[in-house]
Amino acid sequence: MIPRRRYLVTGTQGQVAQSLAARAASRNDIEIIAVGRPELDLADTGSIAATVEQVAPELIISAAAYTAVDQAQSEEALAFAINADGPAALAQAAARRGIPLVHLSTDYVFSGAKTTPYVETDETGPTNVYGRSKLEGEQRVLSASPNVAVLRTAWVYSPYGKNFLKTMLRLAGERPELRVVADQFGNPTSALDIADAVLKVADNLLESRDERMRGVFHMTATGEASWADFARAIFAASAAEGGPSSEVVSISSSDYPTPASRPANSRLDCSKLRLSHGVVLPDWHGSTAAIVREILAGRHG
């Protein structure tokens, strides 16, 4: 029997962590060891080094984060501890063992002022605490180890955890009409598609020392949308299955005040990932419909 490659994933209940576990379940060549609090607490750097030593993985996937964008505005120190100090400690532990690290980051590192999709060399300029803490996390992991791929993804949805798609389906059951912002544009990305892509990037890092496979990469689904477009696609898919749907009324961000401001344009150009890693994620429409079907079929909580 061929020994399975062991990957340490941070967090157990996150959308990406659960998607990685789901994908690995159908593969006999990799073993996912997902560890979260209390054993591994990103706000407690000692627990990070200890977990990495104990699990002794071949590669680390840094999926856990402080992701409550609005709440981060009033919990800045905690957001930076979890999104910057924790990943830095994880990258140091990976460097000590000489293993690669795949670290997930976000489109919210950008200001949104650009009118076309962002490339990796574009200037960052986060407009909220979450985005600033994630940007510092990127910088800290890259300076702690040369053997790192930072994958910036966006607008993540899945059958797991909390996300915009599940919020929309829940609200549709309660209200005939929903007001949704139509002036923020991004790339809705399925966590299951992220899991597939992360596993390919992981293979590449283990198989090749090529420097072009290290550094920062944009990794979102193909195709773009406003939140209102995304909501309409969710309800079209749901209605087609006899599930709940609502009328979506397009509003502007100024009509939906939130503690954190969000970029008006955070679309990411993913050409570098395609050229360096040979990885392209599917178009979001098909993945959205598939996940709506999966949720309506009740295979998840």
Ligand X SMILES: Cc1cn([C@H]2C[C@H](O)[C@@H](COP(=O)(O)OP(=O)(O)O[C@H]3O[C@@H](C)C(=O)[C@@H](O)[C@H]3O)O2)c(=O)[nH]c1=O
Ligand Y SMILES: NC(=O)C1=CN([C@@H]2O[C@H](COP(=O)(O)OP(=O)(O)OC[C@H]3O[C@@H](n4cnc5c(N)ncnc54)[C@H](OP(=O)(O)O)[C@@H]3O)[C@@H](O)[C@H]2O)C=CC1
The residue from 66, 108, 118, 130 that is catalytic is 130
Instruction: Give catalytic status of residue 130 as yes or no.
Output: yes
Residues 31-70 that bind ligand X (CB under 6 A): 67, 69
Among 79, 93, 149, 154, binds ligand X (CB under 6 A): 154
Contact flag: residue 15 with ligand Y (CB under 6 A): yes
Q: Which two tokens stand for residue 35?
A: 């560890």
Extended strands (E) in the chain: 5-10, 30-35, 59-62, 101-106, 148-153, 156-157, 177-181, 185-186, 189-190, 215-218, 225-226, 247-251
Residues 217-276 that bind ligand X (CB under 6 A): 227, 256, 258, 262
Contact flag: residue 161 with ligand Y (CB under 6 A): yes
Contact flag: residue 17 with ligand Y (CB under 6 A): yes
Find all residues with CB under 8 Å of 137, minimum gap 6, and list them.
Answer: 65, 83, 84, 86, 87, 88, 103, 105
Contact flag: residue 63 with ligand Y (CB under 6 A): yes
Contact flag: residue 216 with ligand Y (CB under 6 A): no
Among 43, 206, 289, 290, binds ligand Y (CB under 6 A): 43
Q: In terms of CB distance, is 50 or 171 closer to ligand X?
A: 171
How far is the CA of 147 from the CAs of 34, 106, 165, 188, 210, in angstroms? Answer: 21, 20, 34, 28, 10
Contacted by 17, from ligand Y, Mg ion, ligand X, none: CB < 5 to 8 Å by type: ligand Y
Contact flag: residue 258 with ligand Y (CB under 6 A): no
Alpha carbons 56 and 236: distance in angstroms, whole number: 46
Among 40, 181, 197, 237, binds ligand X (CB under 6 A): 181
Residue located via tokens 């962002």: 118
Contacted by 64, from ligand Y, ligand X, Mg ion, none: CB < 5 to 8 Å by type: ligand Y
Q: What percentage of the chain's residues is helix, strand, coil (to nearest 5)? A: 45, 20, 40
What residues are annotated to the active site?
Answer: 130
